[in-house]
Amino acid sequence: MKLSINKRKLFQWTLQLGMVLLSSSLYAQDPIKIGFLVKQAEEPWFQDEWRYAEQAAREKGFSLIKIGVPNGEKLMAAIDNLGAQKAQGFIVCAPDVKLGTAIERAAKRNKLRVFSVDDQLQNGSGQPIETIPHMGISAYKIGQQVGEELAAEIKKRGWNMADIGAMRIAFDQLPTARERTMGAVDALKAAGFPVKNVIDAPSVKSDTESAYNAANIVLTKQSSFKRWIIFGMNDEAVLGAVRAAEGRKLAQDAVIAIGIGGSKSTLNEFAKPKQTAFYGSILISPKRHGYETSLLMYEWITANRLPPALTLTNGALLTRTNQAAVREKFGL
């Protein structure tokens, strides 16, 4: 009698143990799914980031879920969607950095790890959220590079700084955009450029069309300047201003423009048979921002290794003449 109770217990225990083992092995086999959410999916930079993230997905065998999130509503829906798909984490470049706290909350609610890329998220008081790992460009330093290269090109052409207008395509609500362009202003000042000639062209959105409109207003108001230098947060902004200048017959011999990015927007410009006013771009690395962030997220999920709190990446001047060598150096 006693023996049969023990037998029954033994059977129950075995059954329970089996169930635990089964469920933990199922858990271990849960497919790894990582979201990669970007604010402007149509922009070549973000296309490149996705392409390099896909490389990481292929190498490690996880699924990459790419979602364009042009506004807050789409972003929140995307996070809930990742939760429903049982993803384990996501990388995000948000359409508005002020959504930081809401993003952090939505991630927690959906049991998702979150890692920001390009644009660092802010809390309600406008401070960077340091609990969310971030990879961005070293914005101020890269801006300084833009300013230094513009000054060097002015010198090469023998232009008089006092006669040149400097157009800053401004998108100041985005901290990285302001840091980049202010870095350029500071470097120009340090090179002796008269600060009163620096004119802001405030852009409503961060795309080429808005920059084009902003630049047109400045060129109309400041028509006394016959020569210009142009800089902004990225290639798309700078190209908008270059097109506006061309519309006023200010071309390569009257304008020096340097962007930031160096992706397809730059390469298309360099591929034109005739050099345009778009002299160069500070190349930044979509490989680091796409491939490396994805790998770091993968390791966070699979090995519980937290990504570094803050990674800032570098840039290098890309021109028509050095493009192949510089891109190769960046592993692109």
Closer by beta carbon to ligand FCA, 92 or else 218: 92
Distance in Å, CB of 302 to ligand FCA, minimum: 27
Q: Where are the beta strands (DSSP E) in the chain?
A: 33-38, 63-68, 89-93, 113-117, 134-137, 164-170, 198-202, 227-231, 255-261, 278-283, 310-313, 316-319
Q: Which tokens go with 237?
A: 């902004």
First to last CA, the chain: 75
Distance in Å, CB of 265 to ligand FCA, minimum: 9
Closer by beta carbon to ligand FCA, 137 or else 242: 137
Distances (CA, A) of 69 to 46, 72, 91, 92, 180: 12, 7, 12, 9, 23
Distance in Å, CB of 239 to ligand FCA, minimum: 12
| DSSP one-letter string for 162-199 | GGEEEEEEE-TTSHHHHHHHHHHHHHHHHTT--GGGEE
CA distance 82 to 319: 40
Distance in Å, CB of 284 to ligand FCA, minimum: 6
Q: What residues are paired with 122 via a beta bridge?
A: 128
Angle made by CA atoms 137, 32, 90, in degrees to the nearest 5: 35
Closer by beta carbon to ligand FCA, 91 or else 154: 91
Closer by beta carbon to ligand FCA, 208 or else 276: 208
Distance in Å, CB of 63 to ligand FCA, minimum: 24
Closer by beta carbon to ligand FCA, 35 or else 286: 286
Closer by beta carbon to ligand FCA, 219 or else 260: 260
CA distance 264 to 289: 16
Distance in Å, CB of 176 to ligand FCA, minimum: 6
Binding positions for ligand FCA, rule: CB under 6 A: 43, 45, 93, 118-119, 137, 176, 206, 234, 260-261, 284
